[in-house]
C-alpha cells in the first residue's frame, strides 16, 4: 500500500509536468490545428537556461529563492522569445501553404534548437544545481520531498489560472473565438494574429516553468531531453482530447500515473524483465491505443475534417 | 495532369554510373568508394521515403526505424547470434516483409486521422524501436542490447562474396567496387519500380490523395488502402536498404538509428524535390557526401582559432534543420521539382 501511494505521488508529480507541456501543444493545436514539434525543445531550453542562471546567481552569492526566481524569469523570457521567433519564422509564413509544409519546418526548427543548444551547453549531461530542498517529509511511510509539493501545487495553480484566463477573460474569449472560426473572429474585430502569438507566448512560458521543474526534479538537463518529454506531453494532450485545456491536464496526470505505476508494478510482476527500462514504451503504447480506439480523447469532441 | 513517363537517357547515364567507382578510386582513393557505397544506400532510403512523402504526401518522421528493422533482420538471420546463416535472397524478402508489416502497423492507427498524427506516431516509433533494441536481451538475448550484433555474414551470393576482391576476365575487381555494383543494381531496380508506380493507377491515386484527400475519397478511391500501401512500400525500401547496410558493415547497433538520421533522409527528399525521382537521387547524393565535405572544417578551426568552435557533425545537423525551414519558406518544391508538385505548392 505504501509503495502504491508512493508511486501515485511520483506519478502525480510527473503528470503535473506533462500537463504543463501538454497545454502548450493543445493551445496551439486548438487555434492553428498545427502540431508544434519544436515545443518539447522549448522545455529543454527552459531547463538549460534556468540551470545556467541559477548556478550563476548562486555563485554570485544570491540566496536560493532569489536564484530560483531569477532562473525562472530568465528561462521564461528566453523561451517566450524563442517561441515567438518560432512562430514568426517557421509557421506564420506558411499559414496558407499545404499542410505538409509547417510540419516539415517544425521538425527543422526542432533540429535547429537542439543543435543550437548543443553548441551552447555541450553534448554532455549538465547537472542541475542542488536546490537544498531535500528535507523530505514522511507521511505514513510515503516520502514527500518539498520539491514535489512545489511542483504539484505550483502547476495546479498555474493550470487554474490558465483555465480562468481562457474561460473568463476577454483575451480568452478572443482565443476561443479564433479557435472556433478564425475568419468570423477576424470579422468581429479580433486581432487573430495577436491571439496566435499569445498562444505561443503562453505555451512557451509554461514550457519554461516545466523545464525548470523537470530539471530540478531529475537534477539533470541535456540538449535532447525535450524530445521524449514532448512526445509524452503530446500523448497526454491527445489522451485528454487535443484542443481541450482541461483534457490536457487530465491526460497529463493520467499519463504520469500510468508511467509511474506501470514502471513500478510491471517490473515486479515480470521479475524485472519488463520494468522501468520500458517506461517510454508505455506512453507510446497509450498514444497508439488512444488513436486506434478513441482518437478524439477523453474530453475532446469529435471534429469532422472541414472541407 | 499526367504526362507519359519522361524518356530515360539510358545508355549514357548507365555508362556513367558504371565507370564512376573507378574514376572515384583513381581520383580520390579507395575511402571514397566506401563513402559512395554508403551513399547508394542513402539513395535507396530516399527513394523509399519519397513514396510516402513525395507521392502520397504523408510525413514520416521515423523512417530510419524501417532501415533499422531491415538491418536487424539481416543481422539476426546471418550471424552467430542465433547461429543461423541464411542466404541473401532469403533474408532480403524476409526483411522487406517485416519492415512492411511495421509500416502497416504504424500507419493503421492514423488512417482515419489527419496526416499530422502519422508524423508523430512514426517519430515516436523511431525512438521506441531503440528502447526495444537496447533492452531485448532478456529472457532470451535477441538484440544483444547496446553492444549490438557483430560478426554479421558479409554480403554474398552463393560462393561469390562481396567482401573480397575478385578477378573478372583478368581485370581486378576490388571488393568495394563489386559492392557498388550490387547496390547500384538495387538502386536501379528501386528507381524502375518507383517510376512505374508513379505513373500507374496507384501513383495517380496517391497524387489525388495528396492534393485533396476528401475529394479523392469522394471520387471513389479507397484512401485507407492506398495510404497503407504507401506506408508498406516505403518501409519495404527502407528494409532492403537496412539489410544491405548490415551485410556491408558487418555490425549493427541501436545507435545507428536515431531521429537525426530520419531527419537527414527527409532533408534529402525535400532538398531534391519531393515526388521527383531525379531530384530525390540528387538530394540523397548531395547530403550523403556532406559530412565528408564538412570534415576538414574541424581542422581549419583548430588551425585558425586554436580550438574547434563548432564541430562538423553539429554543423551538419544544424544545416539540415535550416535547410528544411528555408526550403519550405522559399522553394518548397525543392531544387529539382516535379512539375505537378511545383504547381501544387504554388497554387494553394
**Per-residue three-class SS string for A153-220:** HHHHHHHHHHHHHHHHCHHHHHHHHHHHCHHHHHHCCCCHHHHHHHHHHHHHHHHHHHHHHHHHHHCE
Name the residue facing B120 among A102, A228, A234 (closest C-beta).
Answer: A234
Q: Any idea of the CA torsion for B108, B112, B115, B116, to the nearest 10 degrees? A: -90
Contacts of A107 in chain B (CB under 8 A): 61, 119, 123, 263, 266, 324
What is the CA angle B126-B192-B283, rounded to 5? 50
Q: What cell was used for B321? A: 534543420
Q: What is the pLDDT of residue B74?
A: 92
For residues A305 and B116, give the distance between their C-alpha atoms in angstroms, rounded to a whole number.
13
Closest CA to A171 of A18, A61, A27: A27
Cβ atoms within 10 Å of B236's Cβ, excluding its own: 26
Contacts of A114 in chain B (CB under 8 A): 317
Q: What is the pLDDT of residue A288?
A: 87
- Taking an 8 Å cut-off on Cβ atoms, the answer to whether B119 and A115 are in contact is no
Task: Give me the domains of chain B, ranges plus CATH numbers.
Answer: 10-252 (1.10.3470)
Give the distance from residue B153's alpha carbon to the nearest chain A alpha carbon, in angstroms: 30
Per-residue pLDDT of chain A (307 residues; tens, 9 = 90+): 788 888 899 999 999 999 999 999 999 988 888 889 899 999 999 999 999 999 999 898 888 889 999 999 999 999 999 999 999 998 999 888 888 888 889 999 999 999 999 999 988 899 888 777 667 778 777 888 888 889 999 999 998 999 899 889 999 999 989 988 889 999 999 999 999 999 999 999 999 999 999 999 998 899 999 988 999 999 999 999 888 888 999 999 999 999 888 877 877 777 666 667 788 888 888 888 888 888 888 887 655 555 4
- Taking the Cβ of residue A302 and every Cβ of chain B, the question of whether any pair is shorter than 8 Å is answered with no
Determine the angle formed by the axes of helices B10-28 and B30-50, rounding to 10 degrees.
140
Give the distance from residue B210's alpha carbon to the nearest chain A alpha carbon, in angstroms: 10
What is the dihedral sign for C-alpha A102, A108, A111, A113? Answer: negative
DSSP-derived secondary structure letter, A304: P
Burial class (CB in 10 A: 0-12, 13-18, 19+), A161: exposed
For residues B295 and B316, give the distance between their C-alpha atoms in angstroms, rounded to a whole number.
10
Q: What cell was used for A40? A: 518539447
Lowest mean pLDDT among B208-212, B274-278, B304-308: B304-308
Contact B11, B213 (CB under 8 A): no
Cβ contacts below 8 Å, chain A against chain B, sum to 130
Strands, E assignment, chain A: 126-127, 137-139, 142-144, 220-221
- Taking an 8 Å cut-off on Cβ atoms, the answer to whether A107 and B266 are in contact is yes
Task: Give me the domains of chain A, ranges plus CATH numbers.
Answer: 2-293 (1.10.3470)
For residues A276 and A253, give the distance between their C-alpha atoms in angstroms, rounded to a whole number.
18
Name the residue facing B321 among A93, A108, A234 (closest C-beta).
Answer: A108
Lowest mean pLDDT among A142-146, B156-160, B198-202: B156-160
Place of cell 514504451: A281
Cis-peptide, bond into residue B82, ω within 30° of zero: no
Q: State yes or no: pLDDT of B152 exceeds 60.
A: yes
Q: What is the pLDDT of residue A138?
A: 81
Average pLDDT of the residues in B189-195: 94
Q: State yes or no: pLDDT of B138 exceeds 70.
A: yes
Average pLDDT, chain A: 88
pLDDT tens for residues B24-58?
888 888 888 999 999 999 999 999 999 999 999 88
Name every residue whose Cβ is closer than 8 Å to that of residue B11 and which is 6 or more positions away in sequence: none
Q: What is the pLDDT of residue A134?
A: 64
Q: What is the pLDDT of residue B123?
A: 86
Contact B316, B70 (CB under 8 A): no
Q: What cell was used for A54? A: 541559477
**Chain A window 3-42: which residues touch B at a Cβ cutoff of 8 Å?**
33-35, 37
Query: How far is CA A245 from each of CA A212, B9, B66, B343, rounded to the nearest angstrom?
Result: 22, 57, 35, 39
- How would you classify the pairing of strands A220-221 and A126-127? antiparallel
Contacts of B123 in chain A (CB under 8 A): 37, 107, 231
Query: How far is CA B120 from each of CA A92, A151, B239, B249, B264, rounded to the nearest angstrom?
Result: 21, 28, 21, 30, 17
- Taking an 8 Å cut-off on Cβ atoms, the answer to whether A104 and B344 are in contact is no
Q: What cell was used for A229? A: 518529454
Place of cell 499569445: A198
Amino acid at each position: 500500500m505504501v509503495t502504491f501511494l508512493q508511486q501515485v505521488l511520483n506519478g502525480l508529480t510527473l503528470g503535473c509536468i506533462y500537463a504543463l507541456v501538454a497545454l502548450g501543444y493543445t493551445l496551439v493545436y486548438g487555434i492553428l490545428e498545427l502540431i508544434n514539434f519544436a515545443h518539447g525543445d522549448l522545455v529543454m531550453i527552459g531547463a538549460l537556461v534556468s540551470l545556467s542562471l541559477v548556478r550563476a546567481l548562486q555563485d554570485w552569492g544570491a540566496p536560493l529563492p532569489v536564484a530560483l526566481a531569477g532562473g525562472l524569469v530568465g528561462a521564461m523570457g528566453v523561451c517566450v522569445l524563442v517561441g515567438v521567433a518560432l512562430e514568426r519564422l517557421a509557421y506564420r509564413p506558411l499559414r496558407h501553404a499545404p499542410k505538409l509544409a509547417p510540419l516539415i519546418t517544425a521538425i527543422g526548427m526542432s533540429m535547429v534548437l537542439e543543435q543550437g543548444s548543443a553548441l551552447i551547453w555541450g553534448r554532455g549531461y549538465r547537472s542541475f544545481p542542488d536546490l537544498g530542498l531535500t528535507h523530505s517529509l514522511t507521511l505514513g511511510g510515503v516520502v514527500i520531498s518539498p520539491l514535489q509539493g512545489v511542483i504539484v501545487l505550483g502547476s495546479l495553480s498555474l493550470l487554474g489560472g490558465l483555465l480562468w484566463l481562457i474561460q473568463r477573460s476577454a483575451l480568452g474569449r478572443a482565443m476561443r473565438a479564433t479557435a472556433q472560426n478564425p475568419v468570423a473572429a477576424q470579422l468581429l474585430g479580433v486581432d487573430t494574429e495577436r491571439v496566435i502569438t499569445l498562444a505561443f507566448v503562453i505555451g512557451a512560458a509554461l514550457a519554461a516553468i516545466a523545464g525548470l521543474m523537470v530539471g530540478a526534479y531529475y537534477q539533470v538537463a541535456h540538449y535532447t531531453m525535450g524530445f521524449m518529454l514532448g512526445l509524452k506531453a503530446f500523448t497526454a494532450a491527445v489522451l485528454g482530447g487535443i484542443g481541450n485545456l482541461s483534457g490536457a491536464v487530465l491526460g497529463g496526470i493520467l499519463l504520469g500515473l500510468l508511467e509511474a505505476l506501470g514502471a513500478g508494478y510491471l517490473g515486479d510482476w515480470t521479475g524485472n524483465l519488463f520494468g522501468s527500462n520500458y517506461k517510454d514504451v508505455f506512453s507510446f503504447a497509450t498514444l497508439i491505443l488512444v488513436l486506434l480506439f478513441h482518437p478524439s480523447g477523453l474530453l475532446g469532441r469529435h471534429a469532422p475534417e472541414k472541407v | 495532369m499526367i504526362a507519359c513517363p519522361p524518356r530515360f537517357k539510358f545508355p549514357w547515364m548507365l555508362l556513367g554510373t558504371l565507370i564512376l567507382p573507378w574514376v572515384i578510386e583513381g581520383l580520390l582513393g579507395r575511402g571514397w568508394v566506401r563513402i559512395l557505397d554508403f551513399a547508394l544506400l542513402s539513395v535507396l532510403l530516399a527513394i523509399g521515403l519519397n513514396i510516402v512523402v513525395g507521392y502520397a504526401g504523408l510525413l514520416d518522421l521515423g523512417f530510419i526505424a524501417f532501415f533499422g528493422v531491415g538491418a536487424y533482420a539481416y543481422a539476426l538471420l546471418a550471424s552467430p547470434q542465433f547461429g543461423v546463416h541464411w542466404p541473401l535472397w532469403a533474408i532480403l524478402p524476409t526483411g522487406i516483409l517485416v519492415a512492411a508489416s511495421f509500416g502497416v502497423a504504424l500507419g493503421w492507427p492514423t488512417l482515419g486521422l489527419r496526416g499530422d498524427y502519422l508524423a508523430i506516431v512514426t517519430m515516436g516509433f523511431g525512438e521506441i524501436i531503440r528502447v526495444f533494441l537496447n533492452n531485448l536481451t532478456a529472457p532470451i538475448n535477441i538484440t544483444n542490447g547496446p553492444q549490438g550484433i557483430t560478426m554479421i555474414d558479409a554480403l554474398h551470393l552463393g560462393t561469390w562474396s562481396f567482401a573480397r576482391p575478385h578477378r573478372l576476365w583478368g581485370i581486378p575487381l576490388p571488393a568495394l567496387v563489386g559492392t557498388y555494383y550490387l547496390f547500384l543494381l538495387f538502386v536501379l531496380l528501386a528507381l524502375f519500380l518507383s517510376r512505374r508506380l508513379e505513373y500507374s493507377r496507384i501513383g495517380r491515386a496517391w497524387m489525388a490523395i495528396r492534393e485533396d484527400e476528401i475529394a479523392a475519397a469522394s471520387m471513389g478511391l479507397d484512401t485507407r488502402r492506398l495510404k497503407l500501401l504507401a506506408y508498406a512500400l516505403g518501409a519495404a525500401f527502407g528494409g532492403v536498404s537496412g539489410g544491405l547496410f548490415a551485410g556491408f558493415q558487418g555490425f549493427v547497433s541501436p545507435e545507428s538509428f536515431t531521429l537525426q538520421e530520419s531527419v537527414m533522409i527527409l532533408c534529402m527528399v525535400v532538398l531534391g524535390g519531393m515526388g521527383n525521382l531525379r531530384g530525390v537521387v540528387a538530394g540523397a547524393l548531395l547530403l550523403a557526401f556532406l559530412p565528408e565535405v564538412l570534415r576538414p572544417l574541424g581542422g581549419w578551426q583548430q588551425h585558425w582559432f586554436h580550438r574547434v568552435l563548432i564541430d562538423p557533425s553539429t554543423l551538419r545537423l544544424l544545416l539540415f534543420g535550416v535547410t528544411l525551414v528555408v526550403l519550405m519558406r522559399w522553394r518548397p518544391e525543392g531544387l529539382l521539382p516535379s512539375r505537378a508538385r511545383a504547381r501544387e505548392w504554388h497554387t494553394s
